[in-house]
Chain A
Amino acid sequence: MATTPVIEGWFTTGPDPALVGSQCTTCGNVAFPPTAPQGFCRNPACDGEEFEDVKLSRHGTVWSYTDAQYQPPPPYVAADPFEPFALAAVELPEGLVVLGQVTEGYGVQHLHVGAEVELVVEELDPGHTIWRWKPVVELGEEAEQ
């Protein structure tokens, strides 16, 4: 089955996937989700209306994390039966925090505030992909988990 990004233009796929942000050509502010073509710069001191796509850093550190042990309501498309999943808010070097689900196979027990994570792309629901955060573990550490 072919899979396509669940939302267009927010992340790239391939071997080194990345989130796509918008950088204001006037003040340099970076925003994610990307600013719409007719958007306005969020910096109140800037009246910029033109933006360039920029790939955001693929690595960041965990700002906080949790999981969903109860099935979220629609429009979330849940697996049947529902499988709990973890979520992380990740601070990127660009100076912003971005939410994402955590890679399959990892849970809150693998995370802590400040932990390093890497961006990957996985299947969200049948036919759709999404960006996810994958804990970066030192060699040898993985075996202990």
Chain B
Amino acid sequence: MSVAVLGVGMHPWGKWGRSFVSYGVHAARAALADAGVPWTDVDLVVGGETVRNGYAGYVAGATFAQALGWNGARVATSYAACATGAQALDTARARILAGLCEVALVVGADTTPKGFLAPNAGERWDDPDWLRFRLLGMTNPAYFAMYARRRMDLHGATPEDFARVKVKNARHGLANPNARYRKQVSVEDVLVSAVVSDPLHLLDICATSDGAAAVVLTSLDYARRHGSASPVRVAAVSTVTPAFPNTVLDMPMLSTDSAGVVGAPERTFKESIAHAAYEEAGIGPEDVGLAEVYDLSTALELDWMEDLGLCKPGEAEALLRAGDTTIGGRIPVNPSGGLACFGEAVPAQALAQVCEVTWQLRGQAEGRQVEGARVGVTANQGLFGHGSSVVLSV
């Protein structure tokens, strides 16, 4: 059971000062052109929602449909924080597999304010995202830093290791036309940048950006009828929630569940996201040729390598140092340049990963191509128990 990725497109990421609608439409038209599908053929539009940009963001699916010109398509909107794009993709895939539609356009776009992401305004004493700032001053980088510090104390990671992730991803993104930052950095550049949250420096943490990404999904039958006999396929979309007890401290929570009653779970939340994707695709980590993961911080990329089963816990630094995760290495991670080169545009980024893997599997990732890859995996985690992983194959 799979569907075709017939077209992908992006709006270049950066700080452009325009509305998220214009970014989304740009990406959508690029994806439709890539697919060779007229907008009037699309019978489902799924929008990734943003909650920071006022009324329009709450009706993202219809907002994009209106901007493209009402065509009578079915519409859906998805919100899952950083996993929004993958969940939107899952909605489209499910309707295609159920035979309820043939051609779906999935769009995610955002504009993001500079600096720390902050909660919604007002007195929100029952909102965990508001409380973590009010009670503790707990920012997103503070959570990333806790994961990083734990790697140092348990596995012997060093700030130089974290910097090496940035150096690698900056090099990967140099030729990517959609990347915001296309400049080589050195380990020294990272280590002399200001510490935001010990042990993470400014250049260890991804910026906020404007950006958009779009994907045209179709049934395999529609793809064949339109001359694409062997398109890139969606082999799995994992959108699992955590299982009780969630024992790894998770943004924006102030605490974990207690393992006192039923004991620790077999897999952590992030491990379970990948596990569900592999199960659904019927593959294992050994089959994966490249990975796009959320390097919200440099250290988090190392965590994801282990959560995806690309190596054992505590071994990610060794792979990195050996060059295994560089393009040309055994298992390239973030060949796009990752969020280190793009920055965060929340509802778009899980779709941007799918765009990159599609280009890679088609052999179209000019200047950053991973040779010979037939399976690519993406991974991300979103606030409030959202997570996703997408497996694409040719």
Which A residues form the contact surface with B (CB < 8 A)? 6-7, 27-33, 42-45, 63-70, 72-78, 85, 87, 89, 94-101, 108, 112-114, 124, 130
Convert B93-120 into 0s and 1s, putting 1 for each residue whose CB lies closer than 8 angstroms to a CB of A: 0000000000000000000000110110
Which B residues form the contact surface with A (CB < 8 A)? 115-116, 118-119, 123, 125, 130-139, 142, 145-150, 153-154, 194-200, 244-245, 247, 249, 254-262
Pair A98/B255 contact, Cβ less than 8 Å: yes
Pair A69/B261 contact, Cβ less than 8 Å: no
Contact of B134 among A6, A69, A100 (CB under 8 A): A6
**A94-B258 contact in complex given A42-B244, A75-B130, A113-B153, C-beta closer than 8 Å:** yes
| In the complex, residue of chain B having the shortest beta-carbon distance to the beta carbon of A73 | B118
Pair B137/A68 contact, Cβ less than 8 Å: yes
Pair B149/A113 contact, Cβ less than 8 Å: yes
Pair B118/A31 contact, Cβ less than 8 Å: no
Contact of B258 among A7, A75, A85, A96 (CB under 8 A): A96
Nearest-Cβ distance from residue A11 to partner chain B, whole angstroms: 11
Pair B150/A75 contact, Cβ less than 8 Å: no
Nearest-Cβ distance from residue A37 to partner chain B, whole angstroms: 13
Can you list 14 pairs linking A and B with CB atoms under 8 Å apart? A29-B261, A43-B245, A63-B150, A67-B197, A70-B116, A73-B133, A75-B134, A89-B249, A95-B258, A97-B247, A98-B254, A99-B138, A108-B198, A113-B153
Pair B262/A69 contact, Cβ less than 8 Å: no
CA distance A95 to B148 in the complex (A): 22
In the complex, which residues of chain B have a beta carbon less than 8 angstroms from the beta carbon of A6?
Answer: 134-135
CA distance A73 to B249 in the complex (A): 21
Majority SS of interface residues in chain A?
loop
CA distance A30 to B260 in the complex (A): 8
Pair B146/A64 contact, Cβ less than 8 Å: yes
| In the complex, residue of chain A having the shortest beta-carbon distance to the beta carbon of B197 | A66
Interface centre among A78, A108, A114 (most CB of B within 10 A): A108
CA distance A74 to B120 in the complex (A): 10
CA distance A127 to B160 in the complex (A): 42
CA distance A77 to B154 in the complex (A): 33
CA distance A72 to B200 in the complex (A): 15
In the complex, which residues of chain A have a beta carbon less than 8 angstroms from the beta carbon of B146?
Answer: 63-66, 87, 89
Pair B256/A96 contact, Cβ less than 8 Å: yes
Pair B196/A43 contact, Cβ less than 8 Å: no
**A87-B142 contact in complex given A69-B198, A75-B119, A97-B249, C-beta closer than 8 Å:** yes
Pair B261/A43 contact, Cβ less than 8 Å: yes
**A100-B136 contact in complex given A73-B115, A87-B142, A113-B153, C-beta closer than 8 Å:** yes
Pair B150/A72 contact, Cβ less than 8 Å: no
